[in-house]
Chains A and B, each alone.
Chain A
């Protein structure tokens, strides 16, 4: 017997999926409407409201979740996917916190489903260090150097365990989207309405002189403007380039605004840090090593691209070949 309360709290689990499959949850207008509201919440506030724990609402929650995933998939936008996954993970985190006292077995079940191997200890829990590194933010609070690490396991507290679960939920949901399928018209229409709410911040102001930017930098800017998440190294490389290219801080910060997890304070701090320490642009081979090179422009360093003797030399070579 499926546990309906569990499934409604954690609709991303296998058990919830099976419940939905067995009970042929219907795709009514009201469910689509509620799924749309769930996505609006996620987009606007980064949160999803918890529903009342009533049996009728519980089954509905499972259906709403399934439909919301369809709408997100039909919209197929990286920013929406990230923002939505983040909001679902926060919602799950809230349930995990409250279930900790009333239904501790739920927390165990979610951890098991996500493949997280927590071992209960007298004080806190132990978790394999690789999972710890995978699902904790790289911040002072989680610095491995200050942690109790022994026999491959790190000790974490009760709250930290919830935080790790939340991050694992986020990654799970994000990597499972978009689903590839043909969606009914009601879903496509909802997707179009939601898509209209996605912030489009790729200001034209950004486009100054971009034709002079090397392909790797153009790709990073393009990803950012399309709300695609750019990894940390990519952001640093981009910021280094823009600082070295002579863009003022304000303009650089604006370029980062479309990132799904944009924080003005952090971005500004990092840009100022690069400027203050006069970080030089890394070479092409370093950039390639980061997996950010998209074309073999052979200019040695992205900073050279514009003046690149190379562009000219290539033309000369071509001329020679023709002659």
Chain B
């Protein structure tokens, strides 16, 4: 690590000043700040300084205002001595359970498009509504969701039940959600001519599959791809009744296991590949502090209620700077984007524009423009 004096650019100074101003009066609302480790980042690195400890919210705010970091992270862990080094001396007390969902890789690149943001939002809702609440039994009050400030969402679970879980237990939770290690064979077993399988009333992936299967049985082409005899509504009814009792083949289906396996794979019941298991398993992870500004977009890592998530749009609802303008010169072609419903661009490289502050900050943070 070099301590060479880093010459701040005009843009960096401009942003730091804005961020500092923002932190003087923003809401912080960090739970137990005195037990968390903080990390601050700048123009070059998202975490430049870590092992930062504070006595409480007032000190945290003072540091945010004076250091004006472009990125703020905090530990999911609670420590007795958050600033101590090496890690063992911090004395780990417990940790929130977190999930990191990112938009998929897409041609939109660093200007994450609306579709990508919508998709990762859907997956976040799915994580909460299909896994955390029904399967893991967390209550809505234990779950909080925030926009990451960039391309995705973070879900924090604060619950006595999970605070003490170690890495391996947390990885097991992530594996469940991503369907890692899921074995279709364990869901079905044959006894003579009969095939037994999961009931729709049961927990886990077996129940998910059975419910999803029954929901689609009235869909003609789906039913026919299992057996031609399911054309008959009476036979479908017979099939439905049987599956409710865990008997999956009351009608003599050819190649039944293979067919069910195919349906199982195509239903995508898990969030396979959609959450970063390493983040969930890391009991000392530093993660974007909810409510802080993201230096790569200028957007707020805003907390969103589950009820409000459906209607949440980062480019409208996570805007931190609502007044003022700035003149910027594009350093590269910029695709059309919108801020608070107002459309901007596309711009060509070299073009100079006077833009509302939020739009200018967005481009400066993306390093797609410079101050003019």
Contacts and interface: CB of A to CB of B under 8 A. Distances in A.
B181 A291 contact: no
B204 A133 contact: no
Interface in A270-319: 288-296, 298
A232 B168 contact: yes
B202 A148 contact: yes
A292 B283 CA distance: 13
Interface in A135-157: 138, 140, 143-155
Interface stretch (B103-111, B159-167, B341-349): B159-167
A208 interface: no
Nearest to B206: A148
A144 B176 contact: yes
A290 B281 CA distance: 11
A288 B183 contact: no
Contacts of B1: 298
A130 interface: yes
Interface string B275-299: 0000000101000000000000000
A248 to B, nearest CB: 29
A129 interface: yes
B252 interface: no
B88 A291 contact: yes
Contacts of B172: 133, 138, 143-144
B173 interface: yes
B165 A149 contact: no
A289 B204 contact: no
A152 B282 contact: no
A91 to B, nearest CB: 27
A227 B187 CA distance: 41
A296 B175 contact: no
Chain B interface bracket (under 10, 10 to 19, 20 to 34, 35 or more): 35 or more
Contacts of B92: 291
A179 B137 CA distance: 38
Contacts of B175: 143-145
Contacts of B164: 130, 134
B356 interface: no
Contacts of B182: 145-146
B138 A149 contact: no
Nearest to A295: B86
Given A133-B169, A144-B172, A144-B176, A152 B85 contact: no
B180 interface: yes
A233 interface: yes
B209 to A, nearest CB: 12
Contact of A149 (B135, B179, B181): B135
A128 interface: yes
B32 interface: no
B141 to A, nearest CB: 14
Interface in A34-87: none
B203 interface: yes
A316 to B, nearest CB: 15
A101 B179 CA distance: 37
A171 B59 CA distance: 40
B88 A294 contact: yes
Given A144-B176, A145-B181, A145-B182, A150 B86 contact: no
Contacts of B135: 149-152
Contact of B137 (A144, A153, A232, A290): A153
A131 to B, nearest CB: 9
B282 A289 contact: yes
B220 to A, nearest CB: 31
A149 B203 contact: yes
A145 B165 contact: no
B205 interface: yes
A291 to B, nearest CB: 5
Contact of A150 (B165, B176, B181, B202): B202
Nearest to B284: A289
Contacts of B168: 138, 232
A175 to B, nearest CB: 13
B252 to A, nearest CB: 28
A134 B165 contact: yes
Interface in A195-225: none
A145 B205 contact: yes
Given A151-B137, A294-B86, A146 B165 contact: no
B189 interface: no
A293 B88 contact: yes
A154 B172 CA distance: 13
B181 A148 contact: no
B56 interface: no
B21 interface: no
B134 interface: yes
Interface in B189-227: 202-207
11 contacts: A133-B169, A144-B176, A145-B205, A146-B187, A150-B137, A150-B204, A150-B207, A151-B134, A289-B282, A292-B88, A293-B86
Can you list the 6 inter-chain pairs with the closest CB atoms, starting with the nearest? Answer: A152-B137, A150-B203, A133-B169, A293-B86, A148-B203, A145-B182
Given A134-B169, A289-B284, 6 more contacts: A144-B176, A146-B187, A152-B136, A153-B203, A291-B87, A291-B284
Interface of A: 128-130, 133-134, 138, 140, 143-155, 232-233, 288-296, 298
